[in-house]
Structure 1
């Protein structure tokens, strides 16, 4: 089972960059809601010939796709390597090419978040690692890290024959500040960043660009499931509040566009100024 780092926000049309993806074919994972849905909507507004919305929640992806022209949905568990390969092969069969892939699917751990929130309320350090079951560790790594590998591998295979393409992965600022009590999520996203950068170096010579966006707190379904005490802990009057899915989508689509032709292996930290690296 996967999930998406997303919630069901609709957002308005900013009109930014109209036509950047004219005639291109795109695949977005985690597109049933939140960041993934915002990505699909913006790609549709910017002229894609076709956009395929993939999500473990096939009904959610279909609901978004039904509101967009030249869009279709597919139920996809990114942790299933064969399913990812089949989904990408189907895009090639139907559309004949794949120009843009944005990988936004991922999961968090609601139980760990509850433990962290309880510790905040009690005024004590979180105690998570000693309580973390193998199944919880494996679930987060399987979806976030293995799933990213599956999507990157399939996308590279699809793009190599044309020696062109742009892949953008949604990482996390948690990979960089490694929040206490969230070892499996931080490790999975740090792995996602390193994996993406290694692949970026490998394929840039073949005309394929791979880049990463590392969001901070963003108003998604994942954020909506965050306990209030933990959400309050993210609040900082010195910086911007939670980003919107549309704001993160716009950064990702800049990386996917020709305007970012000189960027490969970049990790863009989009956390509203909470910290820098």
Structure 2
């Protein structure tokens, strides 16, 4: 096992499925003690086992980040954190803006933006007080580019990109680095159900393929590690070149 993150505790929100699992496993493979979080305890236990089976360290903390109380409870249960990965996001199926229910708008804002906002406010000052840390936010190619029938999701991810820059300015002087990883179409169980929406994107992606959770995890590891010590407020696209073209 490598050890770029040995001795560090990493909290990964929304890490019981999809990209979050790949991130948690990648961090653990580099020696981090990973706090896996999500709403489903059974899936959380499976992720913890997958990490332990490869010699890594992980534990599960149940968390529903739909409100402020959930964020505060997770921050307390996680304890001192050296790496925070704001990955939790609500699955939003493509649909016309005029047909999006107001309740879904509220849930998306709460999960995709408010949870990261509150957790960062709770955790980043404590990181600075201990001498520093790293925060990696999960954005999206949708945070750069317009996409028909994806206005709600794109709005939340554009907000995440903006928060990264603001937090880099706010917390960087205290030794806390804040950056974004922005995936493109990624092969996950969730995305399997919207391939009719994704396939046109792949057709114009330079790589001509979907990414994998493991590739996103590798980017998160880099930004969390000392190799990225002078990188603040950056967005690293893991999208096969889609945003570039």
Do both proteins adopt the same fold according to a TM-score greater than 0.5, normalized to the shorter chain?
Answer: yes
String of CA shifts for 1:206-241, please: whole Å, max 9, x gaps: 010110011110011331221x32132223166221
Alpha-carbon deviations, 1:56-100, whole Å to 9, x = none? 2222112111232421101112232222222222222xxxx3211
Q: Residues 225 and 164 of structure 1: is their aligned pair in 2 closer, same or farther, counting only changes over 3 Å?
A: same
Are residue 276 (structure 1) and residue 235 (structure 2) matched? no
Paired residues of 1:197 and 1:265 also in contact (CA < 8 A): yes
For residue 198 of structure 2, what is the aligned residue in structure 1? 231
Residue 70 (structure 2) pairs with residue 83 (structure 1): yes
Which SS does the other structure have where 2:31 is aligned?
coil
Structure 1: stretches of 5+ with no match in the other structure = 1-14, 116-127
Q: 2:142 aligns with which of 165, 174, 184?
A: 174
Deviating more after overlay: 230-239 vs 23-32: 230-239
> Is 1:136 the equivalent of 2:120?
no
Residues 176-215 of structure 1: pairs in structure 2 closer than 5 A: 176-215=144-183
Q: Determine whether 1:70 maps to 2:53.
A: no
Which structure has the larger Rg over C-alpha atoms?
Answer: 1
Matched, 1:45 2:12: no
Task: Evaluate the alpha carbon distance shift between residue 246 and residue 144 of structure 1 in structure 2; reply closer, same or farther with a 3 A threshold.
Answer: same
Query: 1:159 Cα deviation (Å)?
Result: 1.0
TM-score (norm 2): 0.91
DSSP-derived class of the 1:66 partner: helix
2:219 aligned partner? 251
Partner in structure 1 of residue 118 of structure 2: 150
C-alpha distance in 2 between matches for 1:158 and 1:221: 35
1: CA distance, partners of 2:47 / 2:16: 6
SS in 2 for 1:167: strand
CA distance in 1, matches of 2:123, 2:210: 31
Distance 1:254 1:223, change over 3 A: same
Which sits farther off after the overlay, 56-65 or 204-213? 56-65
Contact 2:185 2:202 in 1 (8 A): no
Task: Please name the residue that 1:121 is paired with.
Answer: none
Unaligned runs of 5+ in 2: none
TM-score by length of 1: 0.81
